[in-house]
Amino acid sequence: MSRRNKPPKRIPAPDAIYNSVDIAKFINRLMRRGKKSIAERIFYETMEAIKERTKEDPIEIFNKAFTNTTPLLEVKARRIGGSTYQVPVEVKADRGKGLAAIWMIDAAKKRHGKSMKEKLTAELIDASNGQGAACKKREDTHKMAEANKAFAHYRY
């Protein structure tokens, strides 16, 4: 790894339909084994299903779900004097969005349902309402950071 400078951050091209970089990143996270067209189809069908179910703008639901699952704090293991402490640290915006996307996709996969489209639809609607496994994961992360606030002075 170079010690001189950081490589520039690569930002994917915005998606074709909604022209959003966040959606493009979400589709890339949803993709398995390089099959992007399948991931795009799943996502766009999910957006149609959200539109039918809620009668609202699916982009607003998606953005609301994203903000409800994006963590502000997390804990990192820090080894000091032979013992390991869980030190709470603030999450940068890019990492927070990445974690939110991963948590929503994992929660959707673990749901009971017929297809990934239906599971992802249900998870996004629940997350936009502040419920669901992804929001619970965020709350658990915040609780862990709050419980270990005493070790905040070990932050680096």
The pTM assigned to this predicted structure is 0.90
| Selection from 10, 31, 13 nearest residue 22 by Cα | 13
Q: So what's the pLDDT on residue 148?
A: 87
* Reported confidence tier of residue 1, pLDDT bands at 50, 70, 90: low
* Reported confidence tier of residue 7, pLDDT bands at 50, 70, 90: confident
Q: So what's the pLDDT on residue 2?
A: 72
Is residue 108 pLDDT above 70, yes or no? yes
Average model confidence (pLDDT) for the chain? 92
Q: So what's the pLDDT on residue 150?
A: 85
Residue 58 CA to residue 124 CA, distance in Å, equals: 10
Q: What share of the chain is helix, strand, coil (3-state, %, to 5)?
A: 60, 10, 30
Long-range contacts of 29-38 (CB under 8 A, 24+ apart): 29/98, 29/101, 29/102, 29/105, 30/105, 30/120
**84, 77 Cβ separation under 8 angstroms:** yes
**Model pLDDT for residues 26-78, shown as the tens digit of each residue:** 999 999 999 999 999 999 999 999 999 999 999 999 999 999 999 999 999 98
| Selection from 154, 155, 51, 42 nearest residue 108 by Cα | 42
End-to-end CA distance of the chain: 21
